[in-house]
């Protein structure tokens, strides 16, 4: 067998493992409300958001890197699954451990150079230090809100605890750095309350 085929086989194994992302159900419904989205759909939509809303990033942000982070960061859910964003601190710590283990396992399927590159991107997103990671995190925080309460949404009765004040408190840390997107959050929440699909 050609030496390069071992590399290719490892890459194909990784790609086929990542196909499982299509079967990971998230807690957020589609905008239509007809079913829950899966994690692969979520990642695609986030990458599209980065391309569409890139003008609202901080000056100098590398949007190609943002897309890379968004494509890679949820891959760990093939092993760790998805959890609701408003979970307890203990639950968040437990999920963080599961995701770190999943990242080591999943990216470990790749050839060493790609393992290191993909792993570093995943860690960059989690650290939330670079402008690219902070913008990626902001989009990741914004998308579920738009699907649930954006114009034309049916709202969600599944989370009555997510009141106007609670939603703003949860979204503010990731989005306040981006004024236009933060204002969108505030307007979306206010409209949802007026329309009766979010508790006031």
What's the rounded mean pLDDT across residues 179-183? 98
Does a structural domain hold residue 200?
no
How far is 162 from 87, CA to CA, in rounded Å?
12
Does a structural domain hold residue 56?
yes
> Residues 79-129: pLDDT tens digits?
877 766 656 677 678 888 999 999 999 999 999 999 999 999 999 999 999
Does a structural domain hold residue 136?
yes
Predicted pLDDT at 121? 98
Does a structural domain hold residue 199?
no
Predicted pLDDT at 197? 85
What's the rounded mean pLDDT across residues 169-173? 94
* Block residue for tokens 């639950």: 91
How many Cβ atoms sit within 10 Å of the Cβ of residue 147? 20
Q: Which residues contact 109 (CB under 8 A, 6 or more apart)?
A: 10, 13, 14, 17, 115
Report the number of distinct structural domains present in the chain: 1
CATH number of the domain enclosing 70: 1.10.3210.10
Q: Is the pTM of this model over 0.85?
A: yes
Cβ contact 155:192 at 8 Å:
yes
> Residues 18-64: pLDDT tens digits?
999 999 999 888 998 899 999 999 999 999 999 999 999 999 999 99
Say which DSSP state 76 is in. Answer: T
Predicted pLDDT at 1? 42
* pLDDT at residue 162 is higher than 90: no
- DSSP characters for 58-127? PTT--HHHHHHHHHHHTTTHHHH----TT--HHHHHHHHHHHHHHHHHHHTTS-HHHHHHHHHHHHHHHH
Structural tokens at position 88: 């307890």
Q: Which domain holds residue 163?
A: 3-194
């Amino acid at each position: 067998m050609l030496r390069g085929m071992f590399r290719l086989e490892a890459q194909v194994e990784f790609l086929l493992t990542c196909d499982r992302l299509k079967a990971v159900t998230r807690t957020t419904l589609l905008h239509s409300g007809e079913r829950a989205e899966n994690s692969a759909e979520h990642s695609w939509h986030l990458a599209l958001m980065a391309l569409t809303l890139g003008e609202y990033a901080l000056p100098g942000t590398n949007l190609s890197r943002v897309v890379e982070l968004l494509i890679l960061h949820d891959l760990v859910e093939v092993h760790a699954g998805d959890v609701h964003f408003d979970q307890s601190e203990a639950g968040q710590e437990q999920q963080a451990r599961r995701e770190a283990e999943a990242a080591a396992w999943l990216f470990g399927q790749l050839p060493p150079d790609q393992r290191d590159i993909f792993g570093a991107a995943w860690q960059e997103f989690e650290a939330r230090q670079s402008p690219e990671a902070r913008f990626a995190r902001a989009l990741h925080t914004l998308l579920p809100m738009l699907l649930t309460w954006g114009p034309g949404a049916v709202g969600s009765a599944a989370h009555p605890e997510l009141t106007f004040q609670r939603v703003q408190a949860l979204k503010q840390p990731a989005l306040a750095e981006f004024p236009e997107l933060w204002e969108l959050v505030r307007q979306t929440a206010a409209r949802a309350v007026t329309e009766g699909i979010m508790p006031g």
